[in-house]
């Protein structure tokens, strides 16, 4: 199975409460909190699409969009 390729980090700043859980537990240190305490992908190309941020987020504020396989 091909490694999932990141399409984008879909982040909802209205729902994000800046708790920092996704930031801390990202295995590749992709995420950071901006000046408004909202998460953003500081190093998006390092993302390995493990989705732990999406699974752990208490606010359903972050989603990892994966590139669809082309048939």
Partner 1 sequence: MAIKDYIRERFFPHIWCPGCGHGTVMNSLLRALDSLGMSKNEIVMVSGIGCSSRISGYVDFHTLHTLHGRALAFATGVKMSLPELNLIVPMGDGDALAIGGNHFIHAARRNIDLTAIVMNNRIYGMTGGQYSPLSGYGTMATTAPYTNIDQSFDTVELATAAGATFVARSTTYHVQQLTKILKQAILHEGFSVVEVLTQCPTYFGRKNRQGNAVDMMVAYNKNTTPIGSKAKKENPDLIERGIFVQEERPEYCSEYDKIIEKATAKLNT
Q: Which of 25, 27, 34, 44 binds partner 1 (CB under 8 A)?
A: 25
Q: Least distance (Å) from partner 1 to the CB of residue 20?
A: 6
* 14 belongs to the binding site for partner 1 (CB under 8 A): yes
Distance CA 2, CA 41 (A): 23
Q: Which of 4, 6, 18, 42 binds partner 1 (CB under 8 A)?
A: 18
- Choose the stretch contacting partner 1; rule: CB under 8 A; options: 1-9, 40-48, 54-62: 54-62
- B/e letters for 16-44, b = 16+ CB within 10 Å, e = fewer, are beebebbbeebeeebbebeeeebbbbeee
């Amino acid at each position: 199975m091909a490694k999932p390729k990141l399409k984008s980090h879909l982040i909802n700043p209205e729902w994000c409460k800046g708790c920092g859980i996704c930031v801390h537990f990202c295995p590749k240190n992709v995420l950071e909190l901006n000046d408004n305490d909202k998460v953003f992908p500081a190093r998006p190309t390092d993302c390995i699409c493990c989705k732990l941020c999406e699974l752990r987020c208490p606010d359903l504020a972050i989603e990892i969009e994966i590139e669809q396989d082309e048939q």
